Structure 1
Amino acid sequence: MEAVRRWARALARGAVPVGLGLLLWAAVGAGEQRRQETLKALPEVTAELLAQRRRHNELVMAALREAAETDENVARRPVPWRK
């Protein structure tokens, strides 16, 4: 009987942090969805602005990709980068 009580206590001690983690994960996930919906509803978010952001992200990713493929310090290049 004592072993059953110890197992129950150990199970409860393990389940409490897992339950709290799941609760926090659900709360953060719902907040993220709400944030995404709010950002989409902003009046200053236009197709042109999104295209500019997308292009900027593509340029940043291209620079990171190039930096990963070369041994040269690409951060020390002159500002108008040339490939």
Structure 2
Amino acid sequence: MAAEAVRTESPCAMMRRAAQSARQEIRRRRDEISRLQGELGHLQGQPDPDQTAITALKQRLEVLKEQLKQDELSLDTLEQVISENC
């Protein structure tokens, strides 16, 4: 059934579906960044913070922020293509 939908789905519908999926991924990534920032703040507020854990969280946050930036750029490009062609 899903294969049939793919064969009959228009390119515009496919791009809109991809854009919706990208928006959900961006939302999920933002939520994860927010959660990790809260965790980082909690760790840094400890009397004797675990520097290894803090460093690991900071690195993870940087990776997620870079991925978010790339996701937003890709979504923006896709939305421009959709608006120009659909």
Task: Please indicate, yes or no, whether the TM-score normalized by the shorter chain is above 0.5.
Answer: no
Query: Which of structures 1 and 2 has the bigger CA Rg?
Result: 1
User: Scaled by the length of structure 2, what TM-score is found?
Assistant: 0.42
Answer 1 or 2: which has greater helix percent. Answer: 2
User: Scaled by the length of structure 1, what TM-score is found?
Assistant: 0.44
